[in-house]
């Protein structure tokens, strides 16, 4: 249902996410747990298109999301 493949996200020259891969299947409940600064919020903002990935791919129900605008992602 939701797939992240080797996602890298940057804030300027600072790499916030490196090689993140996640598979969430329909009906699953998933949590992100980690210390402050671990990348939880950045992961969610990357999925939503607020901070687009520099590398990697994001798919929702097979449709690519990694190059979509936030408003198109929200309307999915």
- pLDDT band of residue 14 (cuts 50, 70, 90) is very high
- Which CATH number covers residue 15? 3.40.50.300
Q: Tell me the pTM.
A: 0.87
Instruction: Report how many domains make up the chain.
Output: 1
Task: Answer for the pair 15, 66: CB distance below 8 angstroms, yes or no.
Answer: no
| Rounded Cα–Cα distance for residues 26 and 37 (Å) | 28
Mean pLDDT across the chain: 93
* pLDDT tens-digit map of 25-61: 999 999 999 999 999 999 999 999 999 999 999 999 9
d(CA 56, CA 58): 7
Give the percent of the chain with pLDDT over 90: 83
Domain that holds residue 27: 2-74
Count CA atoms closer than 13 A to 3's CA, side-chain side: 9
């Amino acid at each position: 249902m939701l797939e992240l493949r080797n996602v890298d996200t940057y804030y300027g020259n600072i790499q916030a996410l490196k090689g993140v891969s996640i598979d969430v299947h329909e009906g699953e409940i998933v949590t992100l747990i980690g210390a402050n600064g671990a990348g939880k919020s950045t992961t969610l903002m990357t999925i939503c298109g607020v901070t687009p990935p520099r590398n990697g791919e994001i798919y929702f129900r097979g449709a690519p999301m990694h190059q979509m605008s936030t408003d198109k992602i929200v309307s999915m």
